[in-house]
Structure 1
Amino acid sequence: MQGDYQVISTLLPLENPDHLEARGIHVVRTDVTKDVSVKELKDFLQKFTGGRLDILINNAGICYTMPATDTEIPNVEKMFAVNVFGPMRVVRFLHLMLIEAKGVVVNIGSIGGICPFVYGSSYNASKAALHHYGNTLRVEMRPFGVRVVNVISGEVSTNILKSDHGRSLPQGKWSSTADPAPMGHTDTRAESVFYPLNEEFQKHVHRTPNAITPNQYAEGVVKEIVKRAPAAWFWFGASSTSIRMVDVFLPRTTWDWLFGRMFNLRKLADGLPSQIKL
């Protein structure tokens, strides 16, 4: 029991539950990419809660860091299966419980879904999709007394970035006509046009963000979502306020200048071989 709530957390089969169970949190093994697994979660909740769900937090997420021009679609499909289709599937199975409780759906979004953070085009797209899904869900669920909150998260010091460790830019022979390798295979034929920034890219995927702690993040989010009228979009976490201000008050092309300087993109103009300059 956490305050006035019974807290239930989902974990994948191989994840260690000790840190959750030590706090009295119930753990259910669930894969949000599979109907059968989410159906099992629904069956558990019906027995455990009597068919009521006060708060649903869609927090499952993975990342994929790569320039848009080097994106491998199978990696993006895997990410969308978790980041976008996962929340959709969970809401599909559990919406009647939320209506019964006049509960709250919380979608954990990201500032990446707002600003064009470099090397994050695919991840940014998944979060932007989640934001708009939640935006529409809020309108549709309002007649049933269910509230929906999009959390526009700044950086939080979680393990999500570790999945990118070891990721590298495609390196091979320069050619303006080379085709990418087949999907799912390492591209060794066409070097990335971003390869002049490979050293910077490696530092980026291994970075330690200037972020708030998971506990700070959880406390701030919970404080908001238990309100009688929580914000439809709740901006919270490192850099979220500055991102919001730029997005609201400055031209879209401000990002071009800001991220161009932050990621040293001017270096690319001198990095392309003459035969592929257009």
Structure 2
Amino acid sequence: MTNSRTRFVLITGCGEGGIGHALAKQFVVNGLSVIATLLPHEGRKHLDHPQIHVLDLDVTQEKEMLPFKKHVEAITAGNLDVLWDLSAPALSILPDQAHVSPIGYTMTAADTDVRQVEKMFAVNVFGPMRMVHHFHKMLVSARGVVVNIGSIGGVCPYVFGASYNATKAALIHYGNTLRVEMKPFGVRVINVISGEVSTNILKSDMGDSRALPEDSIYAPLAGLFKAHINRTPDAMTPNEYAQGVVATVLKRSPPAWFWYGNSTLLVRTLDTFLPRTTWDWLFYRWFNLKTLEGTFTESGKESTSAQA
């Protein structure tokens, strides 16, 4: 990045108290000007700063992209140093914004409502793809950086998170390929493999709004599932997270993958040095899956006997 002009970072999803908000503040501290996006209904006083330009954007709406792009070009003179799509933040929850649209979906793989997953892919995967499609030439002009927020869920088979994990795995591999393809143009791509960070995602899963279907083969674990939904994870704060990742992104030669956030050391170590099936063994015990052995067969026999 050159210091002869104002440097700009575009961050999507900058709601108050979340990672995007923290990142915007941290980039300003480091001398960059920020273009922060919000949904139209979100408050914006928290982004009131002369170096922060606030624009409305829904990354799932293609029709909004061209008018939005024109605004960004006018602000940046066609040079974008960092593109950071935070429509898909890290793994974990902090229930502090009831109006945040859900982009997480906790459910067993077998009981998954694909309609919910389609919404999640629209934000978590297609949103970042859409942003790159529209802004890649501005990144090339500045020899900038694309930052994808991945997750440890995209690396390990975190139980009850198959769909969310799939979006993060898709984004990570998209970033891997994008990194190779953009190298000739001097654009770097960083996959941040995020651990437990206090964010606003999965709000819709909390309380009584998410439960296993009554006829689920996992019904014996209904209590454990509800406890998992309402857990209070040991999570890094957004400000701590922002300080670490911004410092790394602004390095002259940042890593292709940057693991950051609580639990990343454990996941990275196990995934690097032990067999893949180590995760099967661990999650089988952590989520008490052994209690399900034979339950469906026994239920079926009972149903057969009752019909007879």
Partners of 2:50 and 2:295 lie apart in 1 by 53
In the other structure, the counterpart of 2:68 is 41
| Residue 55 in structure 1 maps to residue 79 in structure 2 | no
Q: Cα offset for 1:58? A: 1.5
In the other structure, the counterpart of 1:133 is 174
CA separation of 1:45 and 1:23: change in aligned 2, threshold 3 A: closer
Tell me if the contact between 2:157 and 2:279 (Cα under 8 Å) persists in the aligned partners: yes
In the other structure, the counterpart of 2:231 is 207
Q: Cα offset for 1:26? A: 2.0
The secondary structure found in structure 1 opposite 2:33 is coil
Tell me if the contact between 2:35 and 2:53 (Cα under 8 Å) persists in the aligned partners: yes
In the other structure, the counterpart of 1:5 is 32
| Residue 93 in structure 1 maps to residue 120 in structure 2 | no
RCO (CA 8 Å, sep 6+): is it higher in 1 or 2? 2
In the other structure, the counterpart of 2:162 is 121
Q: Which amino acid aligns with 1:40?
A: P
Partners of 2:149 and 2:75 lie apart in 1 by 25
Aligned-CA RMSD value: 1.4
Partners of 1:160 and 1:169 lie apart in 2 by 19
The secondary structure found in structure 2 opposite 1:272 is helix
Partners of 2:232 and 2:47 lie apart in 1 by 24
CA separation of 1:27 and 1:251: change in aligned 2, threshold 3 A: same
User: Pick from 10, 17, 29: which aligns with 2:44?
Assistant: 17
Q: Cα offset for 1:40? A: 2.3
The secondary structure found in structure 2 opposite 1:228 is coil
**Which runs of at least 4 in structure 1 moved beyond 4 Å after TM superposition?**
none
Q: Cα offset for 1:38? A: 2.2
Partners of 2:190 and 2:263 lie apart in 1 by 19
The secondary structure found in structure 1 opposite 2:42 is coil
Q: Deviations over 1:48-105 (max 9, x none)?
A: 0101100001110221110000000110000000000000000000001000000000
Residues 171-250 of structure 1 aligned to structure 2 (within 5 Å): 171=214, 191-250=215-274
> TM-score, normalising length from structure 1?
0.89
The secondary structure found in structure 1 opposite 2:231 is coil
Tell me if the contact between 2:32 and 2:51 (Cα under 8 Å) persists in the aligned partners: no
The secondary structure found in structure 2 opposite 1:231 is coil
CA separation of 1:23 and 1:46: change in aligned 2, threshold 3 A: closer
Q: Deviations over 1:197-244 (max 9, x none)?
A: 111111111111101000000111101000111010000000011100
Q: Which amino acid aligns with 2:171?
A: L
Partners of 1:268 and 1:82 lie apart in 2 by 34
In the other structure, the counterpart of 1:168 is 211
Q: Cα offset for 1:276? A: 3.1
Q: Which amino acid aligns with 2:289?
A: L
Partners of 1:2 and 1:43 lie apart in 2 by 26
Partners of 1:23 and 1:220 lie apart in 2 by 24
Q: After the TM superposition, which of the residue ranges 81-90 and 24-33 deviates more from structure 2?
A: 24-33
| Residue 159 in structure 1 maps to residue 221 in structure 2 | no
Q: Cα offset for 1:135? A: 0.2
In the other structure, the counterpart of 1:66 is 107
Q: Cα offset for 1:24? A: 5.0
Partners of 1:8 and 1:2 lie apart in 2 by 14
Partners of 2:175 and 2:192 lie apart in 1 by 10
Partners of 1:237 and 1:80 lie apart in 2 by 23
Q: Which amino acid aligns with 1:215?
A: N
Which residues of structure 2 form unaligned runs of 5+? Answer: 1-27, 89-102, 302-308
Partners of 2:53 and 2:273 lie apart in 1 by 44
Partners of 2:222 and 2:50 lie apart in 1 by 43
In the other structure, the counterpart of 1:109 is 150
Q: Cα offset for 1:273? A: 5.4
> TM-score, normalising length from structure 2?
0.81
CA separation of 1:22 and 1:264: change in aligned 2, threshold 3 A: farther
The secondary structure found in structure 2 opposite 1:7 is strand
Q: Which amino acid aligns with 1:57?
A: W
Q: Identity of paired residues, percent?
A: 58
